[in-house]
Amino acid sequence: MLEIKAVVYSPQLDTDFLFFTTENDLAEIEWPNAQAEKLTKARGLEGKFGELGSFQFEQNSQIRRLLTVGLGKTEELDLEKMRRALGQALQEAEKLKVKNLTIAPLAGPAFPVFERARVLTEAAVMASYRFERYLAEKKGVSLASLQLAVAEGDLAQAEQGLELGLILGRATNLARDLVNEPANCLTPEQLAQKARQAGEGSGFEVEILDENSIVKLGMKAFLEVGKASANRPKLIIMRHLGNPEDPEDILGLVGKGITFDSGGLSIKPGASMATMKFDMGGAAAVIGAMSAIARRELPLNVVAVVAACENLISGRGYRPGDIIGTMAGKNILINSTDAEGRLTLADAVHYII
Q: What per-residue confidence (pLDDT) applies to 108? A: 63
Residue 27 has what pLDDT?
61
CA end-to-end distance (rounded Å), the chain: 40
Q: Where are the beta strands (DSSP E) in the chain?
A: 3-8, 16-21, 52-59, 62-70, 100-103, 145-150, 205-209, 234-241, 250-261, 301-311, 323-325, 331-333
Catalytic residue among 43, 133, 316, 342: 342
Q: Give 43-52 pLDDT, tens digit per residue.
A: 888 889 999 9
Active site residue 342: yes
C-alpha 65/C-alpha 39 separation (Å) is 12
pLDDT of residue 59: 82
Tell me what pLDDT residue 58 has: 87
Averaged pLDDT of the chain: 94
pLDDT tens profile 197-245:
999 999 999 999 999 999 999 999 999 999 999 999 999 999 999 999 9
pLDDT at 87: 95
The secondary structure of 14-35 as a DSSP string is SSEEEEEE-TT-GGG---SSHH
Q: How far apart are CA 352 and CA 254, in angstroms?
A: 8
| Cα gap 125→267, rounded to integer Å | 38
- What per-residue confidence (pLDDT) applies to 171? 98
Per-residue model confidence (pLDDT) at position 47: 86
- Percentage helix, strand, coil for the chain under 3-state DSSP, each rounded to 5: 40, 25, 35
pLDDT at 11: 85
Supply the angle between the helices 113-127 and 79-95 in degrees, to the nearest 10.
40
* pLDDT score for 111: 82
The segments of the chain whose pLDDT lies below 50 read none
Q: Which of 176, 227, 268, 296 is catalytic?
A: 268
